[in-house]
Amino acid sequence: MTATTAKYLVTGASGQLGALAIDALLKKVPASQVVALVRRAEAAAPLEAKGVEVRIGDYTDVAALEKAFAGIDRLLLISSSEVGQRAAQHKNAVDAAKKAGVGFIAYTSILHADTSPLSLAVEHRETEAQLAASAIPYALLRNGWYTENKTGSIAPAVEHGAYPGAAGDGRISSAPRADYAEAAVAVLTADTLENGAVYELAGDTSFSMQDFADAIAQAAGKPVAYADMSEADYAAMLEGVGLPAPIAAMLADSDAGTAKGALEDNSKTLSDLIGRPTTPWSETVAEAVKQQKAA
Ligand SMILES: NC(=O)c1ccc[n+]([C@@H]2O[C@H](COP(=O)([O-])OP(=O)(O)OC[C@H]3O[C@@H](n4cnc5c(N)ncnc54)[C@H](OP(=O)(O)O)[C@@H]3O)[C@@H](O)[C@H]2O)c1
């Protein structure tokens, strides 16, 4: 099955990365070759409006997934957002893909999954091993941080004049979701699929959280300082503003890993795949501040 005749399916299509991947895919192949997987029937309408077929399946339901994957040649498996249940859910997806005879899986993992100190990497390593054992040809899209992970907290940072964290002077090579979506589609639609390929995907430029706070301050025209603290203090602070303890711990752990360099990558694999420089983080910050001012 060639790239031009293959039937493609994107999981997590109701999510932010999934929707962008569908859009990127539609720039490469006709809508008749694109299937979107969602778990909630009410999520179908915006995708159907794009002309793609929508199938329903939850990562917890192997039978539904097997049915949804029928006739699919190339699958973009977007990792589940249900941290702690992901390894089991992804195994269901891989098992279902095997039963359905899917020809290729591209999986969204995490940057440097094999060596990453982040607790989030544990389940990705499990899924990478499941794929390697599946005998289905596959590629690993080891995504670095979305710039949007950090721009989401711009409003309180501007309000309080401080951006808290535990990342020290660790650098983050981020790119917006749209760049990762485009890269995923480049791998999925390649003429020649390379089984077992590993792509360490990250932005061309990186920032420390001090750089990030400075960029917010500049765009907002107000002072914003980076307030660095210990991992434990940051987790406690996040709990204090209402985050559930496991989420607070996961975010603080990710920052501690950032301090160790876990989210820095200078390979430029992402820009190579998309054939253009990645969108600079400072541009995404400036745009987010602009939108926040207008809100
Ligand atoms: N690289 C990074 O910086 C970064 C940051 C955050 C997350 N991630 C990972 O990247 C993935 C995509 O990111 P995103 O921003 O697009 O996340 P998102 O907007 O939260 O989308 C997650 C998608 O997964 C679907 N999903 C969750 N549980 C499912 C289940 N049990 N069965 C079937 N589908 C399920 C969601 O469906 P519903 O719409 O029904 O909820 C949604 O479509 C995340 O899920 C997470 O694994 C990466």
Answer whether 107 contacts ligand 1 (Cβ < 6 A): no
Q: Provide the pLDDT for residue 292.
A: 87
Quote the DSSP letter at residue 261: T
CA pseudo-torsion sign 11, 16, 21, 22: positive
Q: Provide the pLDDT for residue 16.
A: 98
d(CA 99, CA 49): 30
User: Quick check: pTM over 0.75?
Assistant: yes
Pocket test for ligand 1, best of 37, 69, 80 (most atoms within 8 A of CB): 80
d(CA 127, CA 234): 29
Which H/E stretch holds residue 274? helix 269-274
Q: How many residues does the chain have?
A: 295
- pLDDT tens digits for 194-228? 999 999 999 999 999 999 999 999 999 999 999 99
Which ligand 1 atom is the nearest neighbour of the CA of 58?
A: 32
Q: Provide the pLDDT for residue 179.
A: 98
Answer whether 44 contacts ligand 1 (Cβ < 6 A): no
Over its C-alpha atoms, the chain yields an Rg (Å, rounded) of: 19
Q: Provide the pLDDT for residue 181.
A: 98
Which ligand 1 atom is the nearest neighbour of the CA of 60?
A: 31
3-state DSSP call for residue 198? strand
d(CA 160, CA 211): 17
HSE-up of residue 202 (Cα within 13 Å, Cβ side): 21
3-state DSSP call for residue 123? helix
Q: Provide the pLDDT for residue 294.
A: 87
The answer to whether 67 and 9 have CB atoms below 8 angstroms apart is no
Sheet strand arrangement including 8-10:
53-56, 34-38, 8-10, 74-77, 104-110, 138-143, 197-201
Answer whether 108 contacts ligand 1 (Cβ < 6 A): yes
pLDDT digits (tens), the chain, 295 positions: 799 999 999 999 999 999 999 999 999 999 999 999 999 999 999 999 999 999 999 999 999 999 999 999 999 999 999 999 999 999 999 999 999 999 999 999 999 999 999 999 999 999 999 999 999 999 999 999 999 999 999 999 999 999 999 999 999 999 999 999 999 999 999 999 999 999 999 999 999 999 999 999 999 999 999 999 999 999 999 999 999 999 999 999 999 999 999 999 999 999 999 999 999 999 999 999 999 888 8
Let me know the angle formed at the C-alpha of 30 by 51 and 16, rounded to the nearest 5 degrees. 60
d(CA 202, CA 179): 9
For the chain, the structural domain boundaries read 8-147+175-201, 163-169+204-265+279-294
CATH class of 163-169+204-265+279-294: alpha beta
Which ligand 1 atom is the nearest neighbour of the CA of 177?
A: 15
The answer to whether 267 and 200 have CB atoms below 8 angstroms apart is yes
**Which superfamily does 8-147+175-201 belong to?**
NAD(P)-binding Rossmann-like Domain (3.40.50.720)
Domains 8-147+175-201 and 163-169+204-265+279-294 share a fold: no
Q: Provide the pLDDT for residue 295.
A: 83
